[in-house]
């Protein structure tokens, strides 16, 4: 399916553009002559993006969990497009929380869901009038964890499963307005999220210890988790080394935004395809053994 190069200038909003997939996507689309509204959390991130591209890229201070920030961004886009609307919305902003569910503080679980689920829903609601106006589309950046949940990232996997469900519903609900909805489902990607996730896990462990939660947990339970977590860290280190280039994900997002007939799903990376077409269809206990073996768990 070829890209439509005959359309006039397009305008696209990308959330979570400070680093990683969002940053790479913002730069790539800008270089194609598309007007990019890049959602960032800090002003310095926006300034850095403009230096990497040009003044044609428009940074927006956009925390997807902040209702007022969403309203302000909507008005800024409305004013800048002057009736042209949005050609596309890329819901990319997200965080990864890795921790045993038994000890995961509820406020941390709520934060995971607020950023990765409620945030995209709130931004989509706000932008839909502009998307209809611009005959645009929606691209939701999911994950391999939206297809299958691994241990110790249950909160993150739950958020991505929810995003997948919302996308399936939205795709049908918006059919009468000819607004395509696509899911991009990457495997492990070479971005700064690995270091961010490690730091977040360490910070969370310190926070839980400071709260005194789990002080009454037996040594046997602690050792069981410790063995698993050690195996997870080693497996994660291997996955990071084998991660796919971010350019592969950017290519899928570009197709979803620019192709005449975008796909409903983009499986990016061999690992995601293996999970989609093989692992999900196995009996649960066999599936669990394969997952544990792949992570070095006993």
* Annotated catalytic residue within 152, 156, 225, 266: 156
User: Distance (Å, rounded) from C-alpha 27 to C-alpha 9?
Assistant: 16
Q: Answer yes or no: are the C-beta atoms of 86 and 179 closer than 8 Å.
A: no
CB-based burial label for 133 (10 Å; 0-12, 13-18, 19+): middle
Q: Is 152 an annotated catalytic residue?
A: no
User: Distance (Å, rounded) from C-alpha 128 to C-alpha 58?
Assistant: 19
User: Distance (Å, rounded) from C-alpha 120 to C-alpha 91?
Assistant: 6
Q: Answer yes or no: are the C-beta atoms of 41 and 26 closer than 8 Å.
A: no
User: Distance (Å, rounded) from C-alpha 231 to C-alpha 226?
Assistant: 9
Encoded tokens for 18: 């400070």
- Give catalytic residues, as residue numbers: 156
């Amino acid at each position: 399916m070829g890209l439509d190069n005959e359309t006039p200038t397009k305008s696209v909003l990308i959330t979570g553009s400070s680093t990683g997939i969002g940053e790479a996507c913002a730069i790539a689309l800008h270089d194609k002559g598309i007007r990019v509204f890049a959602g960032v959390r800090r002003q310095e991130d926006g300034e850095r993006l403009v230096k990497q591209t040009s003044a044609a890229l428009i940074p927006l201070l956009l925390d997807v969990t902040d209702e007022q920030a969403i309203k302000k961004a909507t008005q800024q886009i409305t004013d800048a497009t002057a009736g042209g609307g949005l050609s596309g919305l890329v819901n990319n902003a997200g965080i990864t929380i890795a921790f045993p569910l038994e000890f995961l503080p509820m406020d941390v679980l709520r934060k995971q869901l607020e950023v990765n689920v409620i945030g995209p829903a709130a931004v989509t609601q706000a932008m839909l009038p502009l998307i209809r106006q611009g005959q645009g589309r929606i691209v939701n950046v999911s994950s391999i964890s939206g297809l299958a949940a691994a241990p110790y990232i249950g909160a993150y996997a739950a958020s991505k499963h929810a995003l997948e469900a919302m996308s399936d519903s939205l795709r049908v609900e918006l059919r009468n307005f000819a607004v395509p909805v696509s899911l991009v489902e990457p495997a492990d990607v070479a971005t700064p999220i690995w270091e961010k996730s490690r730091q977040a896990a360490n910070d969370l462990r310190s926070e839980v210890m400071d709260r005194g939660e789990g002080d009454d947990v037996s040594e046997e339970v602690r050792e069981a988790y410790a063995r698993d977590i050690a195996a997870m860290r080693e497996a994660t280190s291997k996955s990071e080394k084998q991660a796919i280039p971010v350019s592969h994900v950017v290519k899928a997002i570009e197709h979803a935004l620019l192709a005449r007939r975008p796909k409903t799903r983009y499986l990016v990376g061999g690992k995601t395809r293996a999970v989609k077409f093989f692992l999900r269809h196995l009996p649960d206990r066999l599936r669990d053994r394969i997952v544990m073996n792949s992570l070095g768990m006993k």
